[in-house]
A and B are shown apart, each in its own frame.
Chain A
Amino acid sequence: MDTSNLKHHYSQQFNSELEDIRSRVLGMGGLVERQLELAVVSLGDRENALAESVVYNDRDVNACDMDIDERCTMILALRQPTASDLRLVLAVIKTTADLERIGDEAKRVAKMVARASDLDRESNLFGKIVHLGEQVQHMLHRALDAFARMDVEAAIEVVGEDLNIDSEYESVLRQSMDYMMQDPSSIPVVMDTVWAARSLERIGDRCCNISEYVIYFVKGKDVRHASLEQIRNEFEG
């Protein structure tokens, strides 16, 4: 864990402010994890009431987002952080933005559940999307763990996991197309599930982003548009 640099400021206040925004981001992460979990459960169990509560609770996530942004602005303005402190504040700002978007995607999935109550839950397609959702949930959890521990190796693993998510998404798409070709009347319903799958796949991408901010904070290197191979060569070789 690379938090030693959080401890040697002369100003105790500054230390605790940096610690505080870090904890707040992770608290927001917990909220978003819960939202995603409930969205996936509501998808699996066809629970409209649950889905509606997810849609409603998104405002809590948004409130967190604004609160953390405000605090980061204050730190930037009052403390003018440099080096790793600056990287931490930047990583926090970006992670918050990504978490807020993940919250929005979870809301989108929940909205789909609340709207399309006549969805055929027995279909194979449905089980696949729920499975995709569980995988994404796991990935978000690991990305946030990597952020808490500032663990570069774990972050690289999360980036690697995105490949599985992408292939799972592709297979959902292929299957959806099959359904639509066989039975054109199912197109509206299948389109909804495709949008849900798309949202989940986007959450996977945002988890990658969060992991990349971890690498940025610890190593001071921006790896956002590098390939997985490049990242591995750089930090593991």
Chain B
Amino acid sequence: MNPKTGWVQEFWRIVVLILVAWAAGAVLDQVYLFVLLALLAYTLRNLYNLRRLAIWTADPQFAEIPVHFGLLGDIYSKISRVALRQAQKEKRLTALVNEYTASTSALPDAAVALDASGRIRWFNDAASRLLGLQPAKDVGQPFLNLFRNPEMADFIKRADYSDMLQTTAPGNSERKLEVRLAPYGNEQTLLLAQDITERLQHERMRKDFVANVSHELRTPLTVVSGFIENLQIDEELNTERLARPLDLMAQQTARMSRIVEDLLLLARLESDTNRNRHDEIDVAGLIRSAADEIHSLADDVPRIECEISSSRRLRGDEKQLRSVVTNLLVNAVNHTPADGAIQVIWRDQGPQSFLEVRDNGEGIAPEHIPRLTERFYRVDAGRSRDRGGTGLGLAIVKHILQHHDGRLEIRSRLGEGSQFVCRFSAARLLQ
């Protein structure tokens, strides 16, 4: 209805009312009284309508519109239109919220929203399943009061959003979780926990399998290589025709047993994560003896220079650290021509110390560098195998350094040589 017509109708209604009252008053000679009474009646009717309006607006959606005529009818229809729109909007929003809650509760990972002081604001169904949170009771509770693992408290305090934490579920040490944090909104944090029990089981199965296979291969290999040695010694059999095949067999079985040994070493390194020994290692002495050893093994190796400027010792497993130095040196020797030069450096820089092996050999193309520590990754498959590498050396180095809170950094330029840098943190160093 046009708002103007409402006003016009109302106006004509008052005019007609007054005219009628006037006419009636003129007949009975009481004009003022009648007009007054008419206006009084009009006011009373308006008051009554206002009251009806007030009652009706309490729930305007479903009730019938009581008045269709005049200014009031106008107001009624407007209000009911607004109410209808509101109801539709509400319905849409409710549907949206429902859909949102349904989708978050369908998430397989636990999600918990924490406020700035670490209290729980909200969590999904998976969080009550995986973390044992109780829907009605635990909102508003400090999260760490319920998830009391000491490492969890450290992890949340550190608030390193790029990091992940592997931990066990509260009250169920069989279930392993991987927890991540993400900041959002106003100093709030979203905590996500994923159940990785199965994944860890698979990983363990894979590692066990490799370790078992390597172990089982060891005995037959020993037998085979023993007999090959016997055959080589036997003058009757070691004729012109058989000499070369026997040599090759001896070489390849030796290589195979090196691979098996390296695989077993890797398996061992992976299985005991934080139970390594704490010897005080004389790194300088270790470097010198490793260099001497390599010099004594072959004649056509490049010169190895030891530059030792640090007197620090390292806390760790001496055997493992020796294997780091030997592996890096053997790699350098294999990839440097005999007239090249190799430097081994042990130096301090601030609180950290660096063990570096530099060569001026062929170098490594940049696309290979990130993958060098993968098992059996080879830059040039044919060549490194000729030199007797197992393809596991750098993987072993990386693992050993992890055990010693160290890091391996590789820098190289094609044609100019490579640098392998082991960085050790202050906590492991002794003056």
Q: Do A and B come from one complex?
A: yes
A contact residues vs B (CB 8 Å cutoff): 1, 3, 19, 22-23, 26-27, 29-31, 33-34, 37, 49, 137-138, 141-142, 144-145, 148-149, 151
| Residue with the greatest number of chain A CB neighbours at <10 A, chosen from B148, B152, B171, B275 | B148
Which B residues between 117 and 138 are near A, CB-CB below 8 angstroms?
132, 134, 137-138
Is B2 part of the contact surface with A, judged by Cβ < 8 Å? no
B144 is contacted by which of A23, A31, A137 (Cβ under 8 Å)?
A23
Given A30-B153, A37-B173, A49-B275, A144 and B148 contact (CB-CB distance below 8 Å): yes
Is B142 part of the contact surface with A, judged by Cβ < 8 Å? yes
Given A30-B149, A30-B150, A149 and B138 contact (CB-CB distance below 8 Å): yes
Is B309 part of the contact surface with A, judged by Cβ < 8 Å? no
Is B388 part of the contact surface with A, judged by Cβ < 8 Å? no
Closest Cβ–Cβ distance, residue B254 to chain A (whole Å): 36
B contact patch SS: loop
The answer on a CB contact under 8 Å between B150 and A34 is: yes
> What are 29 A-B contacts with C-beta separation under 8 Å?
A1-B138, A1-B141, A3-B140, A23-B142, A23-B144, A23-B145, A26-B148, A27-B144, A30-B144, A30-B148, A30-B149, A30-B153, A31-B150, A33-B148, A34-B150, A49-B275, A137-B173, A141-B170, A142-B171, A144-B148, A145-B132, A145-B146, A145-B171, A148-B145, A148-B146, A149-B134, A149-B138, A149-B146, A151-B137
A contact patch SS: helix
B150-171: CB near A (< 8 Å → 1, else 0) gives 1011000000000000000011
Query: CA A19 – CA B141 in complex, angstroms?
Result: 10
The answer on a CB contact under 8 Å between A1 and B137 is: yes
Counting chain B residues whose Cβ lies within 8 A of the other chain, the interface size class is 10 to 19
B148 is contacted by which of A19, A27, A137 (Cβ under 8 Å)?
A27
Closest Cβ–Cβ distance, residue A13 to chain B (whole Å): 15
B contact residues vs A (CB 8 Å cutoff): 132, 134, 137-138, 140-142, 144-146, 148-150, 152-153, 170-171, 173, 275
Given A142-B171, A149-B134, A151-B137, A34 and B149 contact (CB-CB distance below 8 Å): yes
The closest CB in chain B to the CB of A1 belongs to B137
Closest Cβ–Cβ distance, residue A123 to chain B (whole Å): 24
The closest CB in chain A to the CB of B139 belongs to A1
The answer on a CB contact under 8 Å between A27 and B153 is: yes
Closest Cβ–Cβ distance, residue A45 to chain B (whole Å): 12
Contacts of B275 in A (CB 8 A): 49
Contacts of B173 in A (CB 8 A): 37, 137
Query: CA A30 – CA B144 in complex, angstroms?
Result: 9
B171 is contacted by which of A19, A138, A148, A149 (Cβ under 8 Å)?
A138
Contacts of A1 in B (CB 8 A): 137-138, 140-141
Contacts of B144 in A (CB 8 A): 23, 26-27, 30
Closest Cβ–Cβ distance, residue B240 to chain A (whole Å): 58
The answer on a CB contact under 8 Å between A29 and B141 is: no
Query: CA A138 – CA B145 in complex, angstroms?
Result: 16
The answer on a CB contact under 8 Å between A26 and B145 is: yes
The closest CB in chain B to the CB of A41 belongs to B173
Contacts of A148 in B (CB 8 A): 141, 145-146
Query: CA A142 – CA B149 in complex, angstroms?
Result: 14
